[in-house]
C-alpha cells in the first residue's frame, strides 16, 4: 500500500519539478531576450541616426564616426526604404549569390514585409545642409538578429528535447519493468508446477496402494484423498498453464462458473449466498478452462472477503454485441474507495492483513494476456458492493 502511495507521490514530485524548471527556464530566457531586444532597438536607432548624419552632414570627422557605427552593425538585419516604399539599401539580409535578380528582389520584398510586421520603422529626416530644411523622409526597418531569434526559440527546444528524452526513458523503463515482471510470473509459475508434480504423482500412487486396504475401505478416507488429489491436479495445471501459452477452446461459460460455485459454496459461510444468472445456459466462449476457473475463483474469494460473514454473490453471464460475452460478478460487500480502484489490479496491492495482492493481478493477466479480453471494476460503492466485469470473445 505504502509503495503505491510513494510511487504516486514521486510522479507528482517529478512533474512539479519539471514544470518549475521549464517555467523558470522560459522566464529567465525571456528576461535575456527582452534585454537583448532593448539593446538591438537602441543599436538600430543609433544606426538610423548615423545614416541620417551621413546623408545630411558633410563634416568628414563626424562621417568617420558614423560610418564606423554603420559598419559595426553586422548582426541586425535592416532595410532602408524611401517614401515610395522602394528599398534603397539593406544590411545583414541573407541572399544566395546564385539567385537571379528577380528571385533576389522577391526575397528582399518578403523580408521587408516580415520586418514591417515585426517592429515599427525608425524614420530618417533628410535635410538640406545649408538651410536645415526637411525635404524628405526615409525609413529604417529591422527585425531580430539571428542570435536573438535563436535565444527566443532556445527554451522551447530545450523543453522539447527534455520531454522527448523523458518520454523515451519512461517507455524504456516501463518496457523493461514489464519484461522483468513477465519473467518472474512465468518462472515462478513453471517452477511451482514442476515442484508440485513429484509429490502429486507419489500421492496418487499411495492412494492406489491403500484403496484396497480392508482397514481403510468404507471409511470415506480414500474418497476425501481423491478430492484433494483432484484439487492439487487442478492447481498444478493452473500453474503450468500460466507458465506456457495456453490453448483456448470453445467452452460453456455457465458450466465453468457453476463448477467454481459448487466448489466454493461448501467452503464458505452458509450465510453467503451464490446466485448464477445466465441469459442462456449455452453461451460459449473461447477460454482455457483451468485458468478461467481460477479467475472466477479469485473474484469470488475477494467478494467473500469483502462481505465478511454474510451477503450475496451474483454472477451474471450475458451476451454483448460484436460477439462478446460479459461475466459480471457482483457482491454486497464493503466496496472499493474511488481512489483505490486504479490500484487494485497492480501486483502487490492489498488492503488485507493476510493478502498478497496477487489475485486480481493474476486475473488481469489471464484475461487480458491469454484471452485477449478485458477485466475491470464496473461498479463499486462503499458499503454497497462491487461489480467486476469480464469481457471475452464468444466462440
Ligand X SMILES: Nc1ncnc2c1ncn2[C@@H]1O[C@H](COP(=O)(O)OP(=O)(O)OP(=O)(O)O)[C@@H](O)[C@H]1O
Kindly tell me which of 81 and 313 has the beta carbon lying closer to Mg ion.
313
Name the pairing type of β-strands 311-320 and 272-278. parallel
Mention every residue, 6+ apart, whose C-beta is less than 8 A from residue 174.
none
CB of 371 to ligand X, least distance (A): 18
Closer to Mg ion by Cβ: residue 145 or 302:
302
Quote the radius of gyration of the chain (alpha carbons, Å).
40
For residues 375 and 361, give the distance between their C-alpha atoms in angstroms, rounded to a whole number. 10
| Grid coordinates belonging to 352 | 488485507
> How far apart are CB 213 and ligand X at their closest, in Å?
38
Least distance to ligand X from the beta carbon of 356, Å?
3
Q: From the list Mg ion, ligand X, none, pick the one residue 331 interacts with, judged by a Cβ distance below 5 to 8 Å according to partner type.
A: ligand X
Q: What are phi and psi of 318, to 5 degrees?
A: -125, 160
Which CB sits closer to ligand X, 166 or 342? 342
Which H or E element spans position 315? strand 311-320
Cα–Cα distance measured from residue 367 to residue 359, given in angstroms and rounded to the nearest whole number? 12
Instruction: Check if the beta carbon of residue 216 is closer than 8 Å to that of residue 180.
Output: no
Between the alpha carbon of residue 174 and those of residues 161, 178, 272, the distances in Å are 20, 6, 41
CA atoms of 51 and 58, how far apart (whole Å): 12
Calculate the alpha carbon distances from 341 to 120, 311, 345, 387, 388 in Å.
59, 22, 8, 12, 11
Task: State the DSSP code for 394.
Answer: B
Does residue 356 bind ligand X (CB under 6 A)? yes
161 phi and psi angles, rounded to 5 deg: -60, -45
Sheet bearing 272-278, strands edge to edge: 272-278, 311-320, 324-331, 385-393, 374-381
CB of 386 to ligand X, least distance (A): 4
Query: In the complex, what is the shortest distance from the CB of residue 307 to ligand X, in angstroms, rounded to a whole number?
Result: 8
* Candidate residues 336, 375, 391, 392; the one interacting with ligand X per rule CB under 6 A: 336
Contact residue for ligand X among 300, 317, 360, 392 (CB under 6 A): 360
Q: Residue 206: name its binding partner from Mg ion, ligand X, none (Cβ under 5 to 8 Å by kind).
A: none
Which C-beta is closer to ligand X: that of 248 or that of 329? 329
Binding segment toward ligand X, per CB under 6 A, in 88-96, 179-187, 207-215, 351-359: 351-359
392 near 383, Cβ under 8 Å? no
Closest CB to Mg ion among residues 127, 378? 378
Residue 359 lies near Mg ion (rule: CB under 5 A): yes
Residue 394 half-sphere exposure, CB side, CA atoms within 13 Å?
16
Please check whether residue 393 is in contact with residue 251, taking contact to mean a CB–CB distance below 8 angstroms: no
Task: Annotate each residue in 361-390 with x if it binds ligand X (CB under 6 A) or - if it does not, as one string.
Answer: x------------------------x----
Nearer to Mg ion, 302 or 332 (CB): 302
Strand 385-393, strand 374-381: pairing: antiparallel
Alpha carbon distance 151, 28 (integer Å): 11
Residue from 75, 91, 273, 350 touching ligand X (CB under 6 A): that is 350
Q: Using CB distances below 5 to 8 A depending on partner kind, what does residue 349 bind out of ligand X, Mg ion, none?
A: ligand X
Residues 342, 344: Cα–Cα separation, whole Å: 6
Binders of ligand X among residues 266 to 295 (CB under 6 A) are none
358 binds ligand X (CB under 6 A): yes
Residue of 44, 300, 306, 366 interacting with ligand X (CB under 6 A) = 306
CB of 217 to ligand X, least distance (A): 38
Site for Mg ion in 273-302 (CB under 5 A): 302
Out of ligand X, Mg ion, none, what residue 361 binds, judged by CB under 5 to 8 A for its kind, is ligand X
**Least distance in angstroms from the C-beta of 386 to Mg ion:** 12
Q: Which stretch binds ligand X (CB under 6 A): 36-44, 71-79, 109-117, 334-342?
A: 334-342
Residues that bind Mg ion (CB under 5 A): 302, 359
Residues that bind ligand X (CB under 6 A): 298, 302-303, 306, 331, 333-336, 344, 349-352, 355-361, 386
Amino acid at each position: 500500500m505504502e509503495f503505491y502511495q510513494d510511487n504516486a507521490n514521486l510522479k507528482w514530485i517529478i512533474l512539479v519539478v519539471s514544470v518549475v524548471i521549464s517555467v523558470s527556464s522560459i522566464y529567465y530566457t525571456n528576461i535575456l531576450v527582452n534585454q537583448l531586444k532593448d539593446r538591438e532597438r537602441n543599436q538600430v536607432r543609433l544606426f538610423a541616426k548615423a545614416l541620417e548624419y551621413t546623408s545630411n552632414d558633410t563634416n568628414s570627422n563626424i562621417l568617420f564616426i558614423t560610418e564606423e557605427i554603420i559598419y559595426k552593425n553586422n548582426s541586425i538585419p535592416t532595410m532602408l526604404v524611401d517614401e515610395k516604399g522602394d528599398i534603397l539599401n539593406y544590411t545583414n539580409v541573407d541572399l544566395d549569390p546564385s539567385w537571379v535578380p528577380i528571385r533576389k528582389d522577391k526575397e528582399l520584398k518578403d523580408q521587408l514585409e516580415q520586418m514591417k510586421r515585426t517592429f515599427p520603422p525608425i524614420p530618417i529626416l533628410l535635410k538640406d545642409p545649408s538651410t536645415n530644411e526637411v525635404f524628405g523622409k526615409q525609413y529604417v526597418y529591422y527585425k531580430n538578429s539571428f542570435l536573438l531569434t535563436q535565444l527566443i526559440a532556445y527554451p522551447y527546444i530545450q523543453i522539447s528535447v527534455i520531454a522527448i528524452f523523458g518520454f523515451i526513458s519512461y517507455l524504456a523503463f516501463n518496457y523493461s519493468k514489464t519484461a522483468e515482471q513477465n519473467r518472474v510470473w512465468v518462472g515462478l509459475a513453471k517452477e511451482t508446477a514442476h515442484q508440485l508434480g513429484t509429490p502429486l504423482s507419489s500421492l496418487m500412487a499411495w492412494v492406489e496402494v491403500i484403496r484396497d486396504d480392508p482397514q481403510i475401505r468404507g471409511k470415506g478416507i480414500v474418497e476425501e484423498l481423491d478430492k484433494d488429489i483432484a484439487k492439487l491436479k487442478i492447481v498444478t495445471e493452473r500453474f503450468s498453464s500460466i507458465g506456457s501459452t495456453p490453448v483456448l477452446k470453445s467452452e460453456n461459460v455457465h458450466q465453468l462458473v457453476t463448477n467454481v460455485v459448487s466448489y466454493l459454496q461448501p467452503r464458505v459461510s452458509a450465510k453467503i449466498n451464490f446466485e448464477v444468472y445466465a441469459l442462456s445456459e449455452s453461451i460459449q466462449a473461447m477460454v482455457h478452462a483451468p485458468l478461467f476457473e481460477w479467475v472466477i475463483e479469485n473474484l469470488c474469494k475477494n467478494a467473500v472477503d469483502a462481505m465478511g460473514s454474510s451477503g450475496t454473490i451474483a454472477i451474471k453471464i450475458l451476451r454483448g454485441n460484436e460477439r462478446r460475452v460479459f461475466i459480471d460478478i457482483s457482491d454486497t460487500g464493503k466496496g472499493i474507495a474511488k481512489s483505490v480502484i486504479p490500484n487494485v489490479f497492480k501486483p502487490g496491492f492489498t488492503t488485507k492483513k493476510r493478502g498478497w495482492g496477487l489475485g486480481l493481478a493474476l486475473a488481469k493477466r489471464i484475461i487480458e494476456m491469454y484471452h485477449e479480453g478485458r477485466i475491470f471494476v464496473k461498479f463499486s460503492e462503499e458499503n454497497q458492493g462491487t461489480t467486476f466485469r469480464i469481457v471475452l470473445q464468444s466462440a
